[in-house]
Amino acid sequence: MDLNLVRTFSRVVEAQSFTAAARALGLPKSSVSRAVSRLEEQLGARLLERTTRQLKLTATGRAYYDGATRALAALSDAEQLVADSQGQPRGTVRLAAPAPIDRDFLSGIVVRFARQYPDIKVEVSFAQGEVDLVAAGFDLGLRAARDGHLNGSSLIVRKVAHLSLWLLAAPSYLKSHGAPRRPGDLKNHNFILYDHERACRKACELVGPRGREPIEVSGSLSSDDPLFVRELALRGAGITLMVPRIDDLRSGALVRVLPDYEIPDISLSVVMPSNRHMPRRVALFRDALVEAFKGFPYALDSIVRVQATGT
């Protein structure tokens, strides 16, 4: 039995799509489809029911996938034992990171890890939205979520930081337009909109002294890139909601607006597929991420401390 055919079949099942599996494997879709067909021919059984809208495992396919997954995991364990016995762990680790993450901080983690484990390659991909780790072939992901709720029951979640969104603006904007004194005043200000947060496209709920308070916001500028939204705010284009940066607060480049109000309870987590064997190289990088984020400079307690001391 050609193990490459088995691995390809397993990836198609995990991705629930020939197209997604081909993308993850770096192969043409036609090659992936042929590989599954060849496996079915060798086994003499139909494993997948193909329709124009979805793929569905047959009863035989489900039983074969369950057994093949266990066998591939055992084989991976054996390969890893051999690799570990030969010295330094090796291979590739793929990380999916959200676009707003501080890239200086993350690059520091990656560089330190690469120096410690020179035979492990690290690939980092930045994305605006939520990535299907299995379908896209990632080993780990970094995700932010409100109230700590992450989509995907098949994920193992390890929280590494607790954040909040603050209302921020440049001093130049507030000098020209005045500072709002209450949440209702925001409707009279130019609000820089972050399109990707659809819940906050026109209205949000802030948490303040009187609990949750809805606000109405509007503005002439918007972007789906949070880093660009920050640049607009730094140039005095308006007020925005974002995770504050310590450097911006220390330098006075941005100041907090309505300091008693925020959107709290945003967790930053390391996530990983639960149905996939974790090689030692991935476990090592996961541990490096978790340890490094203990000193994450934008964790809520650090930001509040800077705000209180002004240092």
Beta bridge partners of 95: 124, 140
3-85: CATH topology: Arc Repressor Mutant, subunit A (1.10.10)
Phi-psi group of 213: left, alpha or beta (phi > 0 → left; psi -120 to 50 → alpha; rest → beta):
beta
Beta bridge partners of 97: 126
Exposed e or buried b for every residue in 159-168, given b needs 16+ CB within 10 A?
Answer: ebbebbbbbb
Q: Alpha-carbon distance 230 to 123, whole Å? A: 26
Digit-coded pLDDT (tens) for 188-207: 999 998 764 444 544 578 88
Q: State the pLDDT confidence band at 90, using cuts at 50, 70 and 90.
A: confident
164-265: CATH topology: D-Maltodextrin-Binding Protein; domain 2 (3.40.190)
Q: What is the pLDDT of residue 157?
A: 86
Q: What is the pLDDT of residue 306?
A: 40
Q: What is the DSSP-derived secondary structure letter of residue 191? A: B
CB atoms closer than 10 angstroms to residue 100: 18
With a CB cutoff of 8 Å and minimum separation 6, the contacts of 51 are none
Question: What are the domain boundaries of the chain?
Answer: 3-85, 91-160+267-297, 164-265
Please indicate whether residue 109 or residue 226 has the higher confidence score (pLDDT).
Answer: 109
C-beta separation of 150 from 215 below 8 A: no
Q: What is the pLDDT of residue 302?
A: 42
Is residue 129 scored above 50 in pLDDT? yes
Beta bridge partners of 218: 190
Q: What is the pLDDT of residue 198?
A: 47
Is residue 149 scored above 80 in pLDDT? no
Digit-coded pLDDT (tens) for 54-89: 788 889 988 988 888 778 777 776 776 676 666 678
Domains 91-160+267-297 and 164-265 share a fold: yes
C-beta separation of 188 from 219 below 8 A: no
Architecture of domain 91-160+267-297: 3-Layer(aba) Sandwich (3.40)
With a CB cutoff of 8 Å and minimum separation 6, the contacts of 159 are 148, 267, 268, 269
Q: State the pLDDT confidence band at 297, using cuts at 50, 70 and 90.
A: low
